[in-house]
Amino acid sequence: MTSGPDIRTGRLSPQALSTGFGDAHPPLDHRQAVIEASRCYFCYDAPCVEACPTSIDIPSFIRSIATGNLAGAATTILESNIMGGMCGRVCPVEELCEEACVRNAQEAKPVRIGLLQRHATDWLVGAGIQPFVRAAPTGRRVAVVGAGPAGLSCAHRLAVLGHDVVVFEAREKPGGLNEYGIAAYKTPEDFAQKEVDFILSVGGIELRCGQALGRDVTLSDLRRSFDAVFLGIGHNAVRALGAEGEEMDGVMNAVDYIAGLRQARDKAVLPVGRRVVVIGGGNTAIDIATQIRRLGAEDVTIVYRRGPEHMSATWKEQEWAQTNGVRIKHWAQPRRLVGWPANGAKPHVKEVVFEYTQLDDRGRLTGTGDTFALPADQVFKAIGQYFVPSALHDGVAAEPLELAGDRIAINADRETSLPGVFAGGDCVPGVDLTVSAVADGRIAAEAIDRRLRADILRD
């Protein structure tokens, strides 16, 4: 790097891109699935079920696979988790169900629950089977804001229970992070939309895309027009580095680049730097680093301010990035970004200066004063997202939603401080996982159903 940033499109051939963004974790075939299912002990007090946020009856569906009943296995999964297909691909099973598997105590090799889950649900969706039948219409209407995992989970359960649902989605396509935020090699062949189509095929759900809360619809209007409201609006802002120079060209939010990558028909048109620095320690950092490497970047480094044990990305994800040629450097925080001379124009990033970090005697993170620099054509910010509640304020005299920190406060039923308004997913306190969002949507739907049926009885 002697004359300027090295950012180009088309760094790899179409064949290399196709290989790099094919299915990173191929599914089990029938024989492999039966053999893997036979390893399950079918525990009566199965710890894997306790570890699953959606409480799937894991021994039951694995037994069905072992006996050749894939329809039964898939139905068992989807009754608890309507996005079982996606969760079988992206769920951090190494820290949930598979970590709890009793096989670990004997051979440190759990039953591959995630792959078995995918095997069953993929077969059902591929066969065009719809195992759910809507109950008799109740005459009640529910508004769901956000067509991500939480919103679609809520909408599906409400529709099955006989309610009519209208889903308002700000983007052009439904799916939320499943469509826009997950690494492309985890969900190839447009799987996110296939799963959405399966969910909507139950009937009773109207999808309205391009409808943003606070811009096209207001919470006050929805409360007046519907019998209940569910908010599954996720995060809507990205945290800043707070470092000098982060506004210069070549510095971008990882989530925005990933969204563009997921929607690109031709990945060769994406700009890719030769040397790339990713700042952060979560799954987004892993996803952007691995994908930019597979797009042709030669030198990719993730820098995280604490140690590997503190990263929110699982150990498996960290290993995955490293096996893809990504370096992970710990105990360093960005201090300033240096740009190429620009002759009055906006400078382009040239390098990032980091300060080494450590924990003081009280366990607090602090800088050491020592610094180092990494050259970079591109810098991706992946230090977290958060929820900005401005969309909830519609400029009329309405009750404000109570917040818990920077998220919407909810009770055990996922009901907010406003009666009849529920919320779930990344906009509420908790772990930001697809499976947790699906659980929120289901719990909220069942609570909404109880409320609506009580209203029907009073009428």
pLDDT at position 437: 97
In a shared domain, residues 258 and 370: yes
- Provide the domain count of the chain: 3
> Is the CA virtual torsion 201, 206, 208, 211 positive or negative?
negative
What is the DSSP code (8-state) at residue 415? B
pLDDT at position 397: 45
* Residue length of the chain: 459
CA-to-CA distance for 230 and 269, rounded, in angstroms? 38
Assigned domain for 214 exists: yes
In a shared domain, residues 244 and 270: yes
Assigned domain for 7 exists: no
Assigned domain for 19 exists: no
The alpha carbons of the chain give a radius of gyration, in whole angstroms, of: 23
Residue type, 412: A
In a shared domain, residues 224 and 244: no
Q: Pick the last residue of a domain from 384, 408, 443.
A: 384
CA-to-CA distance for 97 and 93, rounded, in angstroms? 5
Assigned domain for 298 exists: yes
Q: What is the CATH number of the domain that holds 91?
A: 1.10.1060.10
In a shared domain, residues 85 and 183: no
What is the DSSP code string of 197-256?
HHHHTTSSEEEEES--BTTTB-HHHHHHHSSEEEE-----EE-----BTTTSBTEEEHHH
> Is the CA virtual torsion 433, 439, 442, 443 positive or negative?
negative
Q: Pick the last residue of a domain from 96, 126, 156.
A: 126
Q: Are 314 and 94 in contact (CB under 8 A)?
A: yes
pLDDT at position 13: 95
How far, in Å, are 57, 130, 163 from residue 203 at the CA level? 26, 11, 10
**Residue 270: which of 23, 26, 7 has the closest Cα?**
7
CA-to-CA distance for 239 and 384, rounded, in angstroms? 6
Assigned domain for 320 exists: yes
Q: Is the pTM of this model over 0.85?
A: yes
**Which residue do the tokens 């929607």 mark?**
263
CA-to-CA distance for 138 and 136, rounded, in angstroms? 6
In a shared domain, residues 317 and 227: no
- Number of neighbouring beta carbons within 10 Å of residue 356: 15
**Which residue do the tokens 């055990």 mark?**
412
pLDDT at position 446: 98
* DSSP three-state, residue 265: coil
Assigned domain for 260 exists: yes
In a shared domain, residues 223 and 309: no
Q: What angle do CA 175, 178, 180 make, to 5 degrees?
A: 85
What is the DSSP code (8-state) at residue 137? P
Assigned domain for 313 exists: yes
Assigned domain for 285 exists: yes
Q: Pick the last residue of a domain from 346, 364, 384.
A: 384
Per-residue model confidence as pLDDT tens for the chain (459 residues)? 457 899 999 999 999 999 999 998 899 999 999 999 999 999 989 999 999 999 999 999 999 999 999 999 999 999 999 999 999 999 999 999 999 999 998 888 999 999 999 999 999 999 999 999 999 999 999 999 999 999 999 999 999 999 999 999 999 999 999 999 999 999 999 999 999 999 999 999 999 999 999 899 999 999 999 999 999 999 888 899 999 999 999 999 999 999 999 999 999 999 999 999 999 999 999 999 999 999 999 999 999 999 999 999 999 999 999 999 999 999 999 999 999 987 778 899 999 999 999 999 998 999 999 999 999 999 999 998 888 887 787 655 456 889 998 899 999 999 999 999 999 999 999 989 999 999 999 999 999 999 999 988 887
In a shared domain, residues 249 and 375: yes
In a shared domain, residues 396 and 370: no
Q: What is the CATH number of the domain that holds 262?
A: 3.50.50.60
In a shared domain, residues 177 and 218: yes
In a shared domain, residues 232 and 152: yes
In a shared domain, residues 164 and 109: no
Alpha helices in 67-214 (DSSP H): 70-80, 84-90, 97-100, 104-107, 113-126, 149-160, 177-180, 191-200
Domain span including residue 391: 141-236+387-458
In a shared domain, residues 243 and 379: yes
